[in-house]
Amino acid sequence: MRRHLCVAPTGRTIDQIERWRRAWDPVLARIVPAHVTITYPEETADEDLLLRRAERLLGATPPLRLRLGEVVAEDGGRGGVFVAVHDVDGGWADLRRHLLAEPMTPLDVPAHLTVVHPRTSARGPECLTALAGQRLDAEIRVREVWHTETSADTFTILRRFPLATGSGRVKSLARRDRGVSASTPCSTTAPSTGPTGTSAPPPTPPPRTTPSTGSPPTPTS
């Protein structure tokens, strides 16, 4: 099982991305909705501490402004195809900085939406050929953060954290992390499974990607 904090935007542009996902990676699309990850399990040394920080921060955090950009790829599509996500006013980066303060170990992973994951589809190069040059240029506002758990064939929302309605930036972690307990999960999704006999592994953070211009991407590991 893998647990993340993520946001799952909606709207016409996301509907288009979901059509791409269903066409090029139907296994992944059936299990996991299009989302932008905020924290990965590889970064989370203490999940209880992460959730205490999320409790304290997210209710005072304004909606995230994200801009969907160009189609990007790793290793010519063999390492995955993604939509780049631009952090309009730094809210996504602010959240990561506060949530993943010590003792967490943040990775150098850019914001993105996954279209094709190499573990669930071998059609990344074909997808990249079809989508090369595509740029969405759509700004979205996200008003809720999910704490999720992903297995080989299920995706479950363990908890929803509504964001604030005002504007501004993430407030500093002024108080110590002691003495604040994580609440009981408040909602879950129904499990979603792929085709019979086919399982999708939990999504993993991709290497840093570059625009699909034909030049090889730069790995980060």
What is the three-state SS of the chain? Answer: CEEEEEECCCCHHHHHHHHHHHHHCHHHHHHCCCCEEEECHHHCCCHHHHHHHHHHHHCCCCCEEEEEEEEEECHHHCCCEEEEEEECCCHHHHHHHHHCCCCCCCCCCCCEEEEECCCCCCCHHHHHHHHCCCEEEEEEEECEEEEEEECCCCEEEEEEEECCCCCCCCCCCCCCCCCCCCCCCCCCCCCCCCCCCCCCCCCCCCCCCEECCCCCCCCCC
Tally of CB atoms within 10 A around 2: 14
Tokens linked to 89 = 């006013």
pLDDT at residue 165, rounded to an integer: 86
Tally of CB atoms within 10 A around 190: 8
pLDDT at residue 166, rounded to an integer: 65
Query: Could you tell me which of 109, 71, 68, 97 has the C-alpha nearest to residue 205?
Result: 109
For the chain, state the CA radius of gyration: 17
pLDDT at residue 188, rounded to an integer: 31
Q: What is the pTM of this model?
A: 0.78
Q: Answer whether 28's CB lies under 8 Å from 122's CB.
A: no
pLDDT at residue 206, rounded to an integer: 47
Per the DSSP assignment, residues forming a β-bridge with 112 are 84
Regions of the chain where pLDDT drops below 70: 166-221
Tally of CB atoms within 10 A around 125: 15
Q: Is the peptide bond before 185 cis (omega within 30 degrees of 0)?
A: no
pLDDT at residue 10, rounded to an integer: 93
The C-alpha atoms of residue 174 and residue 168 are separated, in whole angstroms, by 17
Tally of CB atoms within 10 A around 110: 18
